[in-house]
A and B are shown apart, each in its own frame.
Chain A
């Protein structure tokens, strides 16, 4: 079910401001690809273009091509809602629906899209929670509010919610930046398990995390504030961290900038 993403020559704009310039890359299926780079370099923005979430922000638009296997995500016949069902997303801050129970949160994506069968939902909720390593912690209190869980549990709940709609790609925008080290570890373990089924793209500020979880790493940078972000290089993670081909990458990874 996992799919390959092919991006060619992508430019992203917010109104007249160009946020990302000329990105081309291939994201392999059943692998974890990490995006690293300084704040404001466009990695989150670029990530959002992979499921057209940037269109939620007024003025957001792209030029270029994003192919999911052989489907063009930006073809005029393509509905952004369909894209987002195929390409799921987990956000920086855990954002469970506050009015819903744990069960309802996981079932939300299906329920809001019209799935009503209780048996189907029960099954998917259990599989998803197990898939997110949360089942054992919450199985006795599925009807309790999702917002009552700890931050790390909430984030895993959000991951369960994202995989419940059975996407083919999972985008993660700094999924651990609001979590403590133990919860971070739990999420990282989870990412490792999920990659056998999904194509995973993760944005992170934590380079150890990128080194730990990813198979390939992409480094983004900007020349100066106000310039669009660019992809400097993308390569196997071990290569990026040990022997990058660009000087800028090495400077960033070793903590020397500019």
Chain B
């Protein structure tokens, strides 16, 4: 591991260790925060007992659906808009302002329209994720060198084949950036929505545990989400590096 990596690991361990110490010494009271070791313990117990497995499955499924739909719709819309400059120009202010708007403000509206179920959560995750995919797909497609478009025509590829076999593969690194963002936003959207109003899912269980003063369960679940999201993001980061290595000038 590099010097940078070591330092980083050291700092993280130091922070966790400090937290542990402060909790054990009672400087941080246990009704506020429990020691990290106790969090890990609790998480282990919970996972082993399988008590919250249905919730975990629910959340992960909803996140998965949000990601998948955001990717498909995002890539399709991005590809379409890239070939339709007039529409893209009109929508440009939307792209610039989209993430400034509090998407959660639409949550009550979605509940009224879709009812209390999983759909509003997935919808929020989708809405947050899809724009990132569109923007990054557009960015990538913009960078396709004209000579490759000509090459596609020489190979007599129609518009759909040209998009699928030449333009999108070229833009893949940028689409991947959109994918990373879609993953992050789907987690944020779904779990946030579960937190606000839901009857199942990890977000709901955290909220429930909080309302019932059950710090053990609550912190275990918070830890679970943190570990999950960080692991997923790190995996994507490594995967991305590997894919990009092929394209880098030696």
A, B co-complexed = no
Binding site for A on B (CB under 8 A): none
